[in-house]
Amino acid sequence: MRDFSKDHRWLSLNTATVRHQGDLVAIVDACARAGIRAIDPWRDQVAAIGLDRAVRLVRDAGLDLSGYCRGGMFPADPGLRAVVRDDNRRAVDEAKALNAPCLVLVVGGLPQYSRPGSVPSKDIARARAQAEEGIAELLEYAAGVGMRLSIEPLHPAYAADRACVSTMCQALDICDRLDPEKSGRLGVAIDVYHVWWDPDLIAQIRRAGKNRIHAFHVCDWLVPTRDLLNDRGMMGDGIIDIPSIRAVVEAEGFDGYSEIEIFSNDWWTKPMGDVIATCIARHRGSV
Ligand code: ZN
């Protein structure tokens, strides 16, 4: 396992972590000044300054991307399927333009939340089937462009509105069905916040192997959690044994960035420089 205690060369900042403190221009500037080598930007942040400008910004700063957030939200009414398909293809194209190594997929939940305007449904099995159909269709397009797709299983509390794929096992079952030759075109983004509780986690990380581990996201689980979406903790402030999980991920050969992704009503109120300085310190000591 790599030693993170001496420097932060393997730290990537998911730009949602400081999304309320500045736009992508300000975030890239702050990362460059802090010696951060990689980011994972969100589509809305890229759209806010324009794709071409974002491409130049990242390139001129010499930044790597550890991923691009995000595609997905596949379950939808038949009338919206073309919208979903085109939206996801654009996400692939943007990821390619930005030179991202993969497009992170949050697959969506029930259709009325995944794509508002869809007829309300309680059929989560159908939603899962639609998610898989959507991934299968996008995989063909992404392969043509040369972009990897990374399914991010989300904590089951988000099954209705964000991701009906809740476990590594589910995500890897989809990978097995859609990419049985394990080409690496389809894999997983492992976010400790979403999967730390899973009794099968270690076995599933080993099952994924290097080819299918595309990304590793870190933050912490606070007890109590006060907000289902926006109360993620800074690494070291909660109960996730992050180094133990990272050890298993790296034992499989993963040698990419450790991406810090914190949605927090608390951290969003602090100055960007303070948040980044804390991220660097905790990356060294608690990841
Ligand atoms: Zn994540």
For ligand 1, the distance from its centroid to the CA atom of residue 141, given in whole angstroms, is 23
- What is the rounded distance in angstroms from the CA atom of residue 116 to the CA atom of residue 113? 5
CATH number corresponding to 11-286: 3.20.20.150
Tell me the CA–centroid distance for residue 217 and ligand 1, in Å.
Answer: 5
CA–CA separation, 109 and 268 (whole Å): 26
Torsion of CA 58, 60, 64, 69, to 10 degrees: 0
Quote the ligand 1 centre to 191 CA distance (angstroms).
5
pLDDT tens per residue, range 134-159: 999 999 999 999 999 999 999 999 99
Cα of 152 vs centre of ligand 1, distance in Å, is 7
**Cα–ligand 1 centroid distance for 85 (angstroms):** 22
Give 229 Cα–ligand 1 centroid separation in angstroms. 12
Which residues touch 223 (CB under 8 Å, ≥6 apart)?
238, 239
* Cα separation, 282 vs 181, whole angstroms: 38
**Ligand 1 geometric centre to CA of 133 (Å):** 22
Question: How do residues 72-112 score in pLDDT, each as one tens digit?
Answer: 999 999 999 999 999 999 999 999 999 999 999 999 999 99
Name the residue ranges covered by the structural domains of the chain. 11-286
Residues of the chain whose pLDDT is less than 70? none
Distance CA 194, CA 262 (A): 12
Relative orientation angle of helices 272-286 and 24-33, to the nearest 10 degrees: 50
Residue 23's pLDDT is 98
Q: 38 and 13 in contact (C-beta within 8 Å)?
A: yes
Report pLDDT for 38: 98
Sheet containing 148-151: order of strands: 64-65, 38-40, 11-14, 258-260, 213-218, 186-191, 148-151, 102-106, 68-72
pLDDT at 186: 98
Q: What's the gap in Å between 41 CA and the centre of ligand 1?
A: 12
Residue 267: predicted pLDDT: 98
